[in-house]
Amino acid sequence: MKYILYKMSKQLTPWEIGRSIFDDCGYSLTTLEDADAHNFDWKKYKAIEITPELGTSFIWCQCTIREGASTRYKKWQPSAIGESRPSIISHLAGNSSDLSDSLLHTLTADEVFAGGEWNKLIMNRVVQDIFDSRYIALNIHDNELETSTFATQLKEAIAYTADDTASVPLLTALTDGRTITVAELAAKVINASDIYNTKVAVLLLEQKKIQDQIKAVSGIDDTLLLKEDLFGIMVDSGLAISSGREVSGVQRESTDDKYGIQF
């Protein structure tokens, strides 16, 4: 059996896999039998295989310390639909009244770390999606004819710039009957390439900086706080208070620009 993380879609449900175990920021965690792995369309669903350890770490990913509590808890309730795994109904329990008909588990240091690793996995996947979309947007106004020949145009332009006697059949054809010369077209192509590469480099640098931020944090609290900073997914009140983002007894003010992508 394999644990896989795939991009959710209302229209596309992979027949090879069972019901989703956990959903997070547009991604679903589920399992896939080894026998079905060869037929599964990994690319279509943007799916990746993850380790069993990471595949089970989601259960701790939002366990934060409630205001006034000194211990992290996970509150469980046995499933009502016969699942072998209990359903998660609350992220934590802060007092004895929360314990009725539930199982209480105190998180270990390893579980706190594992929950943070799940959050980092999801953040990295979403960041990659966002920058993939921004990269595609760089080319959205280019027509297919131009795009299909640009690599050859650039190769010929570089060759012509180095040696104006070089054979450049495509550039020559593209200047036929026009007022632009081969030399001018070569310079124009190289300039366009430089501008595009600069835009790509800026985009890649932005992505790397955010990935560095994600890499630098660990544990549940710090990853959830970064998730709020990057994606506007606000943390619960207990963590907001303990981290100094909220004053006890005073509800945090929410504004529209605090939600959604923050970069």
Domain ranges of the chain: 1-50, 135-211
- pLDDT tens for 6-64 read 887 765 555 556 667 788 888 988 888 888 888 888 888 889 999 999 988 887 888 76
- pLDDT tens for 109-125 read 888 899 999 999 999 99
- pLDDT tens for 67-102 read 445 456 555 444 433 444 433 333 444 444 544 445
DSSP the chain: -EEEEEE--SS---TTS-S-SEEETTEEEEEE-GGGTTTS-TTTTT-EEE-HHHHHGGGGTT--PPTT--S-EEEEE--SS--SSPEEEES---SGGGGTT-EEEEPPHHHHHHHHHHHHHHHHHHHHHHHHHHHHHHTTTS-HHHHHHHHHHHHHHHHHHH-TTS--HHHHHHHTTSS--HHHHHHHHHHHHHHHHHHHHHHHHHHHHHHHHHHH--SHHHHHHHHHHHH--PPPHHHHHHTTSS-TTSPPP--GGGSS---
- pLDDT tens for 159-194 read 999 999 999 999 999 999 999 999 999 999 999 999
Q: How confident is the model at residue 143 (pLDDT cuts 50, 70, 90)?
A: confident
